[in-house]
Amino acid sequence: MQRQVALIKKSLFDQGYLDEQFMELEELQDDANPNFVEEVATLYFKDSIRLINSIDQALERGSFDFNRLDNYMHQFKGSSTSIGASKVKTECTMFREYCRVGNAEGCLRIFQQVKKEHATLRKKLEHYFQLARQAGPKETARRSK
Amino acid sequence: MILFLCYITTGLLLLIRDCNEFLSFCHKHIFLEVFFAMAGEVPNLAESKLTALVVDDNFVNQSIHHKLLDRLGIKNDVVCNGQEAVDVHCSGRNYDLILMDMDMPIMNGIQATKRLREMGIESKIAGVTTRAEEEEVKEFMEAGLNDFQEKPLTISKLVSILRNLDFYVQA
- Reading chain A (145 residues) residue by residue, the pLDDT tens digits are 788 899 999 999 999 999 999 999 999 998 888 899 999 999 999 999 999 999 999 988 877 899 999 999 999 999 999 999 999 999 999 999 999 999 999 999 999 999 999 999 999 999 999 999 888 765 444 444 4
Q: How far is CA A48 from CA A52, A53, A121, B73, in A?
A: 6, 9, 12, 30
Q: To 10 degrees, the CA torsion angle through B46, B47, B48, B51?
A: 40
Contact B151 A82 (CB under 8 A): yes
Interface test with A, best of B54, B56, B60 (most A CBs within 10 A): B60
- Using a CB-CB distance cutoff of 8 angstroms, which residues of chain B are in contact with residue A21? 152, 154
In this predicted model, what pLDDT tens digit does every residue of B27-66 receive, in sequence order? 433 333 344 444 456 788 888 899 999 999 999 999 999 9
CB atoms within 10 A of CB A110: 21
The phi-psi region of residue A102 (left if phi > 0; otherwise alpha if psi is between -120 and 50; otherwise beta) is left
Nearest to B153 by CA among B46, B90, B62: B62
The residue of chain A with its CA nearest to that of B68 is A28
Instruction: Judge residue B121's burial from the number of C-beta atoms within 10 Å of its C-beta, 0-12 exposed, 13-18 middle, 19 or more buried.
Output: middle
Size of interface A-B (CB pairs under 8 A): 49
Interface test with B, best of A18, A23, A28, A48 (most B CBs within 10 A): A28
The residue of chain B with its CA nearest to that of A19 is B152
* B115 and B107 Cβ atoms separated by less than 8 Å: yes
- B67–A contact, CB cutoff 8 A: yes
* B36 and B65 Cβ atoms separated by less than 8 Å: no
Contacts of B36 (CB under 8 A, 6+ apart): none
- Alpha-carbon distance B166 to B158, whole Å? 12
- Which element (helix H / strand E) includes B83? helix B82-90
Contact B58 A83 (CB under 8 A): no
